[in-house]
Amino acid sequence: MEHDPDSAHERLVWARERAGYSTKESFAAAVQVNPTTYRAYENGQNGFAKLAARFAAKLGVPTEWLLEGGALPASRAPDLPSTHSLGSGETGAVTKLDLRLPMGPGATVDDYVEEEPIEFDLAYIRSFSRSPLSRLRIAEGVGDSMFPTLVSSDLVWIDTTQNQLLHSDRIYAASINGGAAIKRLRPIDGGKRVLIISDNKMVDSYEVDAQDIVIWGRVIRFARDL
Give the per-residue pLDDT at 139.
Answer: 82
Read off the pLDDT of each residue in 17-35 and give the average, rounded to a whole number: 84
Give the per-residue pLDDT at 115.
Answer: 58
CA distance 59 to 52: 10
Read off the pLDDT of each residue in 122-137 and give the average, rounded to a whole number: 87
Range 82-222 classified under CATH 2.10.109.10: yes
Above 90 in pLDDT, residue 167?
Answer: no
CA distance 200 to 185: 14
User: How many CB atoms neighbour CB 72 within 10 A?
Assistant: 18
CA distance 63 to 181: 35
Read off the pLDDT of each residue in 162-177 and give the average, rounded to a whole number: 89
Give the per-residue pLDDT at 43.
Answer: 92
In whole angstroms, how far apart are CA 95 and each of 49, 98, 108, 141? 24, 9, 21, 16
> How large a percentage of the chain has pLDDT more than 90?
24
Q: Is 84 exposed, middle or buried (0-12, 13-18, 19+ CB in 10 A)?
A: middle
CATH class of the region 8-68: mainly alpha
In this structure, the strands spanning 115-121 and 82-84 are: parallel
pLDDT class for 45, splitting at 50, 70, 90? very high
Give residue-wise pLDDT tens across range 82-91: 444 445 468 8
Q: Which of 17-21, 54-58, 105-109, 204-208 has the lowest mean pLDDT?
A: 105-109
Give residue-wise pLDDT tens across range 190-221: 999 999 999 888 999 999 999 999 888 899 98
CA distance 146 to 141: 10
Domain boundaries for CATH 2.10.109.10 within the chain: 82-222
Domain boundaries for CATH 1.10.260.40 within the chain: 8-68
Assess contact for 62 and 56: CB atoms under 8 A.
yes
CA distance 124 to 178: 34
Give residue-wise pLDDT tens across range 74-129: 544 444 444 444 454 688 888 877 655 544 444 433 333 555 678 888 888 888 88
